[in-house]
Amino acid sequence: MATTADIKNGLCIEWNHDIFQFVEFQHVKPGKGNAFVRCRMKSFKTGRVLEHTFPSGHEIVTARVLRRPHQFLYKDDNGYNFMDQETFEQVSVDGKTIENVDLLKEGDMCDIMLHEETNVILSCELPNFVVLEVTQADPSVKGNSASNVTKNCVVETGATIKVPMFVEEGIKIKIDTRTREYMDRVS
């Protein structure tokens, strides 16, 4: 058993018949009244982020979650197929458990999170950054050079990303998979 003093980003807990991962937390000690912990947690079942306040010292049940590296192989009718990098076993993951799945390319290394007691796949996390080639880009408009002007482009996986005006077809770009933002050109 742990308490609210043990809360940190990424910690997984069992709460309300679900497994949650802490996304953000803040210890608050008001001038009047008892201290508490205000936190945002992401549900592995629904994928929703909810806010909750725990009283200070409240006991929480930590969940034993394993994070294992897997390589994405291909997609078929069963889902997205990955290979464990340690045992070389293949597992199929439902697309609903993968956030920003349209940025996933064959050969990408992802982290699959497993609940240790039940051996159930909770989620699949893409690498923080991916490099993809632009296959289609809207034309640049001459004179439209005010700061932070963006246009839409389609990358090789079929995802649509907002990019600066100078990005054209055939260029490889670096994308942050957590925010779906353009980061840089890659040569």
Own/partner long-range contacts of 20-28 (Cβ < 8 Å, ≥24 apart): 20/44, 21/65, 23/49, 27/56
Q: Which domain holds residue 97?
A: 65-125
pLDDT of the residue at 142: 67
Measure the CA–CA gap between 153 and 54, rounded to whole angstroms: 43
Q: 95: which 2 tokens?
A: 């697309």
Q: Are residues 69 and 121 in the same domain?
A: yes
Q: Are residues 134 and 181 in the same domain?
A: yes
Last residue of a domain, one of 62, 94, 109: 62
Question: Please, which residues have CB within 8 angstroms of residue 120's CB and are 6 or more apart in sequence?
Answer: 114
Question: What domain count does the chain have?
Answer: 3
Q: Are residues 137 and 120 in the same domain?
A: no
Q: Are residues 10 and 47 in the same domain?
A: yes
Last residue of a domain, one of 102, 125, 148: 125
pLDDT of the residue at 13: 94
Q: Are residues 112 and 158 in the same domain?
A: no
Those residues of the chain that have pLDDT short of 70 are 142-147
Last residue of a domain, one of 47, 62, 77: 62
pLDDT in tens, 125-158: 999 999 999 999 988 776 666 667 888 999 999 9
Rounded to an integer, what is the distance from CA 114 to the centroid of its chain?
Answer: 15
Residue 155 belongs to domain with CATH number: 2.40.50.140
Tell me the average pLDDT of the chain: 91
Q: Are residues 25 and 53 in the same domain?
A: yes
Q: Are residues 152 and 173 in the same domain?
A: yes
Q: Which amino acid is at 187?
A: S
Are 116 and 65 in contact by the 8 Å Cβ rule? The answer is yes
What's the helix, strand, coil split of the chain in %, to 5? 5, 55, 40
Q: What global pTM score does this model have?
A: 0.79
Q: Where in 56-171 does DSSP place strands (E)?
A: 59-62, 65-76, 79-84, 90-93, 109-115, 120-125, 129-137, 150-155, 160-164
Q: Hunting for tokens 């039940």 — which residue is that?
A: 118
Residue 47 belongs to domain with CATH number: 2.30.30.30
